[in-house]
Structure 1
Amino acid sequence: MIERELRSAISVPHAPEVVWAAVSDWSRQGEWMLGTRVWIAEGAGNRPGSELAAFTGIGSLGVLDTMRIEVWQPPEKCSVRHTGALVRGTGGFVVEPDGAGGSRLLWWERFELPTVFALGWPLAAPAVEWGLRRSLRAFAAFCRNYRTERGEQ
């Protein structure tokens, strides 16, 4: 196994509690996460041991990613263990206040790749990084709408 890590962050002009509520709303992640649909597979989805599933792809062609929440510390930190046949490793996000009333959202993924897949990582990594950055930019817009939907000013 070879580990490869991706990290991306974005500033969001909303309080950490709003950012946390938006980023941890699993059923709505597909509204901002590129080509992905997420659902709670087991448990409440808001505590360690809860299981999540995500399908990333187009139509029926894609990858199923199963996860188990390992750390749940609202409104600051969530980490998951990827437990699927293809996607293995850990991932998560951290929400930090930025000192100006907004937040910084850091999203990270640490993939455990079989050696044969690791050889292709240099070709795949730029596309995966682009998708993550694009998704986080979409998240900032989603968060603004999410705040309005919650009746916050």
Structure 2
Amino acid sequence: MANFLLERTAPLPLDEAWRRITRWRRHGDVVPLTVVTVVPPEPTRVGTVVMARSGVGPLSFEDPMVVTVWQPPQDGAPGMCRLEKRGRVVLGWAELEVRPGPGGRTRVVWREEIRIRLLPSLFDGLLRPSARYVFGRALNRLLRHP
């Protein structure tokens, strides 16, 4: 199981940073070879299922994630969302958080524990930097583009 942490400071209000990182379908636009669907479609709440389908044709897999914590930022207070990965291939969890940052900016934190079923922990040393790169790039793109 590989753990990683991403932190970014964005020149956005808390609400806007939150909106950008929790528009689930947009994750499919910024993660290569991935399409994201959401059930129910809107609004997100505890129990919402975010389904990421990654790959091409028969070499694809589904990564269902269930929202287990949903606390949007309110009145300047931080916001936090937790997704539990419950797929046949990808397991673990992800937490997305927004909080006030320096100079009126927003601090965004993405924590994740990811495990690929049948992949020995010996490969965590490769999985961790790969996941940091892919999700770090995705987070940058989510925050840059409305």
**TM-score, with structure 2 as normaliser:** 0.83
Structure 1 vs Structure 2 CA RMSD: 2.1
Find out whether 1:106 has 2:109 as its counterpart: yes
Name the count of aligned residue pairs.
Answer: 140
Matches within 5 A, 1:48-63: 48-57=46-55, 59-60=56-57, 61-63=59-61
**Partner Cα distance (1:130, 1:4) in 2:** 13
Aligned match of 1:11 in 5, 9, 12? Answer: 9
Relative to structure 1, is the Cα distance of residues 132 and 119 closer, same or farther in structure 2, using a 3 angstrom cutoff?
Answer: same
**Partner Cα distance (2:32, 2:136) in 1:** 10
Q: Matched residues, percent identical?
A: 24
Q: Deviations over 1:117-151 (max 9, x none)?
A: 31222123222221122222222321xxx1xxxxx
One-letter code of the match for 1:62?
A: S
**Partner Cα distance (2:119, 2:113) in 1:** 17
Long gaps (5+) in structure 2: 74-78
**Partner Cα distance (2:9, 2:54) in 1:** 25
Find out whether 1:79 has 2:104 as its counterpart: no
Find out whether 1:39 has 2:17 as its counterpart: no
1:116 offset after TM fit, Å? 4.4
**TM-score, with structure 1 as normaliser:** 0.80
Q: Deviations over 1:95-127 (max 9, x none)?
A: 011142211111111124557431222123222
**Partner Cα distance (1:66, 1:125) in 2:** 20
Higher mean displacement: 103-112 or 78-87:
103-112
Contact 1:33 1:139 in 2 (8 A): no
Long gaps (5+) in structure 1: 147-153
